[in-house]
Structures are given as C-alpha cells and as structure tokens.
Amino acid sequence: MPVLRSGSPHRRSRSLATAAGILLAILSLLLGLPGTAGAAATKYAPEPTHPGQDWAGSQIAAHEGRSPAAPDAPPPSAAASVEGVDVSGHQGNVAWSTLWNSGVRFAYVKATESTSYTNPSFAQQYNGSYNSGMIRGAYHFATPNTSSGAAQANYFVDHGGGWSRDGKTLPGALDMEYNPYGATCYGLSAAGLVNWMKDWFATYKARTGRDAVIYTSTSWWKQCTGNYAGFGGINPLWVPRYGSSVGELPGGWGFHTIWQYTSTGPTVGDHNRFNGAMDRLQALANG
C-alpha cells in the first residue's frame, strides 16, 4: 500500500514563517509600529481654535511695532500707486462705499486658515468690495504645522480662494508670518518651511493657473527661512512695514508689489499701496 508523504517539515516552517511575516507587516501598517510606513507619516499639531471671529490675523504689529514718527500714510512715491485695504473676520461687515469714496481701489480678504477655519464675514467682504467697484482678492493664513501645503491650498481654493479672469480678481495670497498659537516658525526648520510653501504654491497654481502672492515680513522671513531667495522671481511680494518707507525686502525680491504701510488706517486698520498705476494692478488681476 503506498505511503502518502506530507510536505517537508522545513518547507512547512518556511511557509508558516512567511505567513506570519505578512500578518506582522499588515498589523504594523495598521498600528504604525516603529520602522514601518506608518511611522513615516507626518505628525501635525492640532487645529488652532478661534475663540473670537478671527482674533489671530496679522501678527506684524505685535512683533515688529510701528515707527512712532511715521505718518498714517506714506509720502507719494515717484511711481504712481493705488490705495488698498485688507480685512478679515475681525472687521465683520465692512463699509465698502465709505472706503471707495476715500479712494480705496483694491482689497484682500481673508478666506481661510489651516483646513478648519473660514472667515464668517467672507461673503460680505469679498462680494461687497467687488460690488463697490474694487479689484479684490482672497488670502489664506498659513499654519504649516497643522497640515500639508497641498491640503491647505486645496482648502483655500475650495472656500473662496479661486481665481477668474474677470479683470477684478487678484491672484490668491499666502500669509506667511509669526505663529499666533506657538513657536514663531511653527516648529519647522527653514528647509521644512520652504518645502511646505513650495507644496502650497504648486497646488494653488495647478488649481487656478496663477502664481500666488506672498505676504511676509523681512524679519520673519530671515528668521524662519534663512532669507531664502527662491520665490522672488515668481511670486509677487506683499510686504508689511509700518513706517515711512518699505525698507529692506526679503531675500530674492528686487521690488515689492504691495506694501502694507499701516495697521491703524481709517475705516479699517490695514491699508496698503500697490507699487504701480491702476493699469498695472489690472494687469496683475488678469494674469
């Protein structure tokens, strides 16, 4: 009678070991054990909270102050300039007709922050400035420690930060500045911040076709990016400095596009000057 032989004990052991290894790998991926792909995932900070409507806003005045001798408005420049304002949820409903009558011709409106906050006054501010006759744009307040640049750029575009070639819509702006919730540079290295911005800008351009404006101060830029010069030839600069001149610019930019010259202006605090005549502002809107 023939004897039925089972497989080799060594082969069975190898098969069991292989199966056990596969199961362990699956469990490791699910649980994020050390040395697995789960551990490579970026760990982000919790989303910031907003106890008021929009209390965070720009931190420039708090960190850099304002020259006490500076006038409320800078002296006229050799080149023509256009007056503008920027607003956020902190301002609530804005008197756009008053601003228009005072000579304001463009506005930037905060739309979003991180991937959890939208300005509750965005519609009144964004549509109201447009309906008054102004050229308007939206901006995003970056929190690079809470989610990826791509995630925040997509959230921005999905919540008011898009662009259309209607002659009255400026490209979106990325607000990169002092962290109102913790570490000045968001706990990231200079290279980490630069790469986060590259991710944000690339995603925004893929969604809209436009290179975004960047809002940042020279002091913060030097401290947190090592004065990185790689964006200067691509992204228009919106620089805050509360004094009688725009002063030193961040690395990479030979000129500024927008200057936020005061945080204590009439009707709303933050007033800006576009560095050029109205036709150049319209050209920026049209891409």
Show me where the domains of the chain are located: 11-37, 60-286
So what's the pLDDT on residue 135?
Answer: 98
So what's the pLDDT on residue 8?
Answer: 39
Q: Contact 54/90 with Cβ under 8 angstroms?
A: yes
So what's the pLDDT on residue 60?
Answer: 64
So what's the pLDDT on residue 36?
Answer: 34
Token code pair at residue 216: 């940042």
Full DSSP string of 245-279: S--SPPTT-SS-SEEEEESS-SSSS-EEEESS-HH
Task: State the pairing for strand pair 258-262/271-274.
Answer: antiparallel
So what's the pLDDT on residue 243?
Answer: 83
Which positions are catalytic?
A: 86, 175, 177
Q: What is the pLDDT along the chain (287 residues), one digit of tens a residue?
A: 443 333 434 444 444 445 555 554 544 444 443 333 333 467 887 877 765 556 555 666 555 665 444 445 555 554 569 999 999 998 999 999 999 999 999 999 999 999 999 999 999 999 999 999 999 999 999 999 999 999 999 999 999 999 999 999 999 999 999 999 999 999 999 999 999 999 999 999 999 999 999 999 999 999 999 999 999 999 999 999 998 899 999 999 999 999 999 999 999 999 999 999 999 999 999 98
Residues pairing with 214 in the sheet: 174, 237
Write the CA distances from 76 to 87, 178, 277, 280, integer angstroms: 23, 29, 12, 17
So what's the pLDDT on residue 113?
Answer: 95
Q: Supply the CATH classification number for the domain 60-286.
A: 3.20.20.80
Question: Which amino acid is residue 170, in one-letter code?
Answer: L
The model carries a pTM of 0.80
